[in-house]
């Protein structure tokens, strides 16, 4: 993704989408990632008259690093922001999945030393499918949470 731009985001740009929880390539934390639009604006008596040079950025909610988005990757992320659940739902699911994994991982790692990933994901689905009908999101989120736990490249 190249080097991030770091500048006081949030205040200048406008949040236009939410991507979900993923690893920030800059600070290495697993955090909420957002889409921000930034445009040059010409104002006359505080009224925006002209907007140009519109750019879309992927922004980390923790360290404020931002990546300008172009081409295919841009289309992909716009698509993702349209299909992924909102931040509140994602946070709730992330916490629930995390609780199930924290409680069961040691047991499953001993029981299935070869591959504990699939049984762990299945355990998350079995534990949460009664309250959360979105199985696809439970699966996706538990894989992401496991990725975080097993990630050797920890935050600085
Ligand atoms: Zn970050």
28 C-alpha vs ligand 1 centroid, how far in Å?
Answer: 6
pLDDT in tens, 44-84: 888 878 877 888 999 999 998 889 898 898 999 999 999 88
Q: Is the dihedral of CA 51, 52, 58, 60 positive or negative?
A: negative
84 C-alpha vs ligand 1 centroid, how far in Å?
Answer: 20
SS3 of 130, please? coil
What stretch of H or E contains 50?
Answer: strand 47-60
77 C-alpha vs ligand 1 centroid, how far in Å?
Answer: 17
Percent of the chain with pLDDT over 70: 92
Burial track 41-74 (b if 16+ CB lie within 10 A, e otherwise): eeeeeeeeeeeeeeebbbbbbebbbbbebeeeeb
- pTM for the predicted model, two decimal places: 0.83
Residue 96 has pLDDT above 90, yes or no: yes
9 C-alpha vs ligand 1 centroid, how far in Å?
Answer: 12
């Amino acid at each position: 993704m190249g080097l991030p731009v770091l500048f006081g985001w949030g205040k200048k740009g406008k949040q236009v989408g939410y991507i979900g929880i993923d690893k920030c390539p800059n600070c290495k934390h697993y955090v909420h990632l957002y889409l921000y639009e930034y445009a040059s604006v010409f104002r006359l008596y505080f009224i925006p008259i002209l907007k140009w040079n519109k750019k879309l950025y992927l922004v980390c909610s923790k360290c404020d690093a931002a990546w300008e988005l172009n081409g295919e990757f841009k289309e992909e992320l716009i698509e993702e922001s349209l299909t992924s659940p909102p931040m509140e739902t994602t946070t709730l699911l992330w916490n629930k999945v995390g609780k199930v994994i924290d409680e069961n991982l040691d047991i499953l790692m001993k029981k299935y030393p070869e591959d504990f990933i699939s049984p762990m994901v299945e355990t998350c689905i079995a534990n949460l499918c009664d309250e959360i009908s979105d199985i696809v999101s439970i699966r996706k989120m538990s894989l992401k949470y496991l990725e975080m736990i097993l990630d050797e490249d920890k935050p600085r």
